[in-house]
Structure 1
Amino acid sequence: MKNYGVFIVLIAFGLFLPSHTFLKTRPTQTYNADVIIYGGTCAAITAAVQVKKMGKTVIIVSPDKHLGGLSAGGLGFTDTGNKEVIGGLSREFYQRLYAHYQKEASWKWQKKEEYGNKGQGTPAIDGTNRTMWIFEPHAAEQVFEDFVKENKLTVYRNEWLDRSAKGVVKNAGAITSFRTLSGNVYQGKMFIDATYEGDLMAAAGVSYHVGREANSVYGEKWNGVQTEVFQHGHYFKKPVSPYKIAGDPKSGLLPEISAEEPGEKGSGDKKLQAYCFRMCLSNHPDNRISFPKPVGYDAARYELVARVFATGWRETFDKYDPIPNRKTDTNNHGPFSTDYIGKNYDYPEATYERRKEIIKDHALYQKGLLYFLQNDPSIPADVHQQMQQWGLPKDEFTDNNNWPHQLYIREARRMKGEFVMTEADALGKTKVPNSVGMGSYSLDSHNAQRYVKKDGFVQNEGDIGVHPDKPYSIAYGAILPKENECKNLLVPVCLSSSHIAYGSIRMEPVFMILGQSAAAAAVLSIENKVSPQKLPYEKLQAVLLKEKQRLEW
């Protein structure tokens, strides 16, 4: 009782405990399964379903309360590339969404015919394959929860890996167990790291990279610093002064601009492409909440976007991609938008407490931007008028003040595994060995920095979009650590890839594909009493083809 009394006093005075300091309300326990999956992403769910399909026991240890990662966190306008290469459980996910939207009850704020007839954006319904690639967050989350219920999956939520030296126990090069901050221990024969961050992989002593490699490392063109390369519209098309007093360097830089040099073109650095929240917005009067003025709001930090409007720029709503029921998947677009450029560099290696600060900072930035666009007198009348039509949907993310519960971690750690996927592989120019799935999206990297050019004007750097020649295969070795580093771990999300190749691979349908393939490899390795690195590929290939995975173009 004394501990609870202290806790109440701390709350009363605003002295909260660190976010991952737990009061022990139950004794610690040890849980066992053939396969232990760490993470709550879409890849974690498809992996667990596949383990169950193959007759083995599985436990999902999820730091997240909500399952599905970005697929259920606002990314409803799916980045698919060529849909023909999406197979297995990944395709089933989208088929289930199609079935959901065949029900009249699923169309609360809009008639189904109205959505289809208006052709809002890319056609959502693929009548031939009965799949739907555009959907609301809550609908996607329900599909993942249906997977859990139907397959009787064991999921422990709000369980955070102990990332200390004692958190992961290894014996003879293999993980035997890991511990969470609650004190619980999870023992298994095989482990899968399905997180966006790669925390289990890192804690297990597996080699990885953070940031952009120099082009010279893998003989690439689009990796590293890419100054004066503009392949999307996310750059300053007209000269804009970066200084508080336009044209006066002595006045200091405006907020959200770095004072650092961008680096030599093609060189490597530790910078990351920007993160953001994929925002679900509504323009239905009965289902929208006006953007609230966030605590800590400072209009001055958005002066740069006001100057962009002053140049005549009017692309504000180009990525308000329509999804069912008069909602959007709103993504970054333009030189100053929802991407919080340069504020995520320390995220991959950061403590849980520091990550929480970064996530909160990203939310404040985006909420402030929305409020600024909707209310600030510097906003042009036409933009202001259209912004007034939008708000947060009342029926999404209802336990998080209608704000997405998942930050878009576009890239964090990337493993250095048995095989490294590089630019040429992701452009379809090579034939990789032992395919476990396919990708087809363009090499897609968002901006990594905003800096001052030598001419005294502001510019962004890092935005790349290069289309592959054709869909490409992803090598089995790319989800495997080197055997001398870990003999019983598979990594389908923070897989082995260069920065720029990862720009194509990092799509949610691909993560589901690789999660399923990783699980099949884990089970077969148990059955054949070998490490995943020594598993005969022919045995894995046979199972994947049976599961309708697409492996070759």
Structure 2
Amino acid sequence: MVAANPAGIAAAVAAAKSGAKVIVLEESAHVGGIIAAGLTNADIRKHGAVGGLYNEFKRRIVEHYTTTYGANSRQVKVCKNGTMMEPHIAEKVFRDMLVAEKNITLLQRQRVVSARVKHDAGERNAIPGKRIDGAAPKEFGPKVKLASITAEDLSNPGTQTEFRAAVFIDCTYEGDIAALAGVPYRVGRESRTTFGEPHAGHIYVRFKDYNPLPGSTGAADDGIQAFCFRFHLTKDKSNSVPVEKPSSFDRHDYQHILSQIAEGKITRFTQVIQLYEMPNSKFEVNSDHPHQDTGVPAESLDLAEENWRWPEAGPTEREHIFNRYWSHNEGLVWLLQNDPAVPLSIRNEASQWGFPKDEFTDHRHRPHHIYVRQGRRIWGEYTLTENDARPVFETGLPARFADGIAVTEFEFDSHAVRKYDPAFPMLRPGYFFIAHDPFQLPYRIMVPKCVDGLLVPVACSASHVGYQTLRMEPVFMALGEASGIAATASLDEKTEVRGVNVSAVRKEIINRGGVILFENTALKPEDL
């Protein structure tokens, strides 16, 4: 198992509960991925659409706040049944879930650097997977079986360990292990014609409007949606450290915000970023979209285009992108607190906020993970697209899959792909937000072309548009749990994971409180 993010934790716990012995390799010194790094406002609308280990996580969050502060406390109320929490509490709960399973061994600061595969002639070093954008080729090439991966101990550079297993699960946000093992993958946006998706390719759409505007060519490109940090802020002076001016601060980054301030369109700090209340006087921060009635804010924390290289980048380049994004994000808050062109009323409002002193204590109270909203997407045995949400004529509901093992219910939600264009003042290029009924995710999206012995529940098989509904952490946990159950079932059945009895996997998911079908709600006006 690679990556101790929510999907990886769910996969490990699910496999361990089935009796398998599990090794979890994590590159950082933390567990919990982006949730433990600040994404503590759960991206889920219909809470009955995800169950299983995600529900256990929520229960443990509520239990923590109840035990620590009392059942009638403000903390319990604000945590909203376990869907809102402090980052360090999220990490604690995730770590507790791993520790509770005696069959799990967690190894941190381990970076996977190579892989070996079995083939008809024996065993060899894996040939990295090819990037194949656009429509699927007629042939993907011969199959191999992932035999081992080798990881370097980042705490002892130069020390490497080979890990052999019957089944591997790649839970990295970027699909790094799949690519190392030889799985073909895609990055960027398909054209509108590739899969016949209305919102594919180069597109301009206003907030909560489904109609592409003139200039939307639908052409393919290398674009992925913008990243940002999901850091936390507090007004509690006894538990805060100040925002600092980054050494690489570039005022030009915020030219459009400064223009909207000068025009009087922005008059409050909270018009530039979104704030969500968490327990203990903390607020999670997110980038905001231009509102359809004002076009404010033109820019926010999302930094489009500068992350396009991230999915295929090596560690050094990713570190450079990470630092650039943090400089931009902290720089925006600093600007609103200090720049003389910002009205005093906004500066005073912004200056009330600082970083919580008790969060990210080993990282200067700044997040240790950036929000990778999408990385590689493997070519799997099924490709999920926008069309999978279309209602079937006979039922009026999306189609069911015979191998459906989870449900996705969040909107097709893509943040900007390209930087703000003043020629389109009410939107950001590449953004869309398309509501749909909940629909099933087939097991096949986790099963890669060409490589056996591997499941990929995060960087799974989908078009750019299709990925934007399933990229939410509760869904990743559901897919991770399904992959852990399937991996163990393949061992019991003595078969490859691509040939596992999915019916039995589905039954086991249900036995554990998971959800594989959710059709008891239709779109409501407030969903649109």
Structure 1 residues 61 and 106: CA distance shift in structure 2, 3 A: farther
1:202 aligns with 2:179: yes
Give 1:361's match in structure 2, choosing from 324, 331, 335.
324
CA deviations over 1:403-443 (Å, ceiling 9, x no partner): 01110000010111011111122466332331111110011
Q: Residue 85 of structure 2 aligns to which amino acid in structure 1? A: F
1:144 to 75, 94, 98: 94
Contact 1:442 1:467 in 2 (8 A): yes
Alignment of 1:317-336 (within 5 A): 317=270, 319-333=274-288, 334-336=297-299
One-letter amino acid matched to 1:279: F
Q: Structure 1 counterpart of 2:428, which letter?
A: N
Partner in structure 2 of residue 465 of structure 1: 433
Who is 1:475 aligned against?
Answer: 442
2:306 matched to which residue of 1? 343
Give CA-to-partner distance per residue, 1:512-538, whole Å, 9 cap, x none: 111010011111011111111111222
5 Å-filtered alignment, 1:47-446, equals: 47-105=11-69, 112-113=73-74, 116=77, 124-125=79-80, 131-152=81-102, 153-163=104-114, 167-172=115-120, 173-181=144-152, 182-227=159-204, 229-231=205-207, 265-311=217-263, 312-314=265-267, 316-317=269-270, 319-333=274-288, 334-426=297-389, 429-446=398-415
Counterpart amino acid of 1:375?
N
- Using structure 2 for the length normalisation, give the TM-score: 0.84
Aligned partner of 2:9 in structure 1 is 45
Shift of 1:124: 4.2
Q: Which SS does the other structure have where 1:160 is aligned?
A: strand
In 2, are the aligned partners of 1:169 and 1:176 still within 8 Å (CA)?
yes
Which AA in structure 2 matches 1:447?
A: A
Q: Give 1:106 shift.
A: 8.3
Which moves more between the two structures, 422-431 or 144-153?
422-431
Task: Say if 1:433 and 1:476, in contact at 8 Å, map to a contact too.
Answer: no
Contact 1:232 / 1:463 at 8 angstroms: preserved in 2?
Answer: no
Contact 1:426 1:505 in 2 (8 A): no
Query: In the aligned structure 2, how far is the partner of 1:44 from the partner of 1:161?
Result: 15
- Confirm or deny: 8 A CA contact 2:268 2:349 kept in the other structure: no
Query: Does residue 534 of structure 1 match 2:495?
Result: no
The DSSP-based 3-state class of the residue aligned with 1:162 is: strand
Secondary structure at the counterpart of residue 312 of structure 2? coil
Shift in Å, 1:302: 2.2
Offset, 1:370: 1.3
Structure 1 residue 41 displacement after superposition: 1.0
Residue of structure 1 in register with 2:140 after alignment:
none
**1:459 Cα deviation (Å)?**
6.3
Report the identity percentage. 31
Task: Tell me which residue corresponds to 2:471.
Answer: 506
Could you list the structure 1 runs, at least 4 aligned residues long, displaced by more than 4 angstroms after superposition: 455-459
Gaps of 5+ in 2: 121-143, 153-158, 289-296, 391-396, 519-528
Distance 1:458 1:550 in 2: 38
Paired letter, 1:473: Q
Deviation at 1:264, TM superposition (A): 5.3
State the one-letter code of the partner of 2:145: A
Q: CA deviation at 1:263?
A: 7.9
The one-letter code matched in structure 1 to 2:224 is L
The one-letter amino acid of 2:277's match is: P
How far 1:310 moved relative to its partner? Answer: 2.2
Q: Deviations over 1:207-229 (max 9, x none)?
A: 211011111111111121112x1
Q: Which runs of 5+ in 1 are unaligned?
A: 1-36, 117-122, 126-130, 234-261
Q: Aligned AA for 2:414?
A: S
Superposition CA RMSD, Å: 2.1
For 2:432, the aligned partner's letter is I
Q: Matches of 1:232 and 1:307 in 2, distance apart?
A: 25
Find the aligned partners of 1:73 and 1:62 in 2 and give their Cα distance.
15
Structure 1 range deviating more: 301-310 or 203-212: 301-310
Q: Distance in 2 between matches of 1:230 and 1:380?
A: 29
Could you say what secondary structure the match of 2:407 adopts? Answer: strand
Tell me the distance in 1 between the aligned counterparts of 2:179 and 2:215. 28
Match of residue 419, structure 2, among 441, 450, 455: 450
Which amino acid counterpart does residue 202 of structure 1 have in structure 2? A
Given that 1:280 and 1:392 are in contact with CA atoms closer than 8 Å, whether structure 2 keeps it comes out as yes
Q: Deviations over 1:449-477 (max 9, x none)?
A: 12546x59796301111111x21111010
Question: 1:432/1:381 Cα in 2 relative to 1: closer, same or farther (>3 Å)?
Answer: farther
Is this contact kept in 1: 2:298–2:420, CA < 8 A?
A: no
Q: Distance in 2 between matches of 1:264 and 1:222?
A: 9
Q: Aligned in 2, Cα 1:114/1:415: closer, same or farther, shift over 3 Å? A: closer
Cα deviations across residues 225-250 of structure 1 (Å, max 9, x unaligned)? Answer: 112x11259xxxxxxxxxxxxxxxxx
Q: Aligned AA for 1:516?
A: E
Output one character per residue of 1:316-359: Cα deviation in whole Å (capped at 9) or x when no partner.
42511111111111000132111111110111111111111111
Say if 1:269 and 1:316 are closer, same or farther in 2 by CA, change over 3 A: farther
How far apart are 1:314 and its partner, in Å? 4.2
Cα distance in structure 1, aligned partners of 2:456 and 2:253: 39
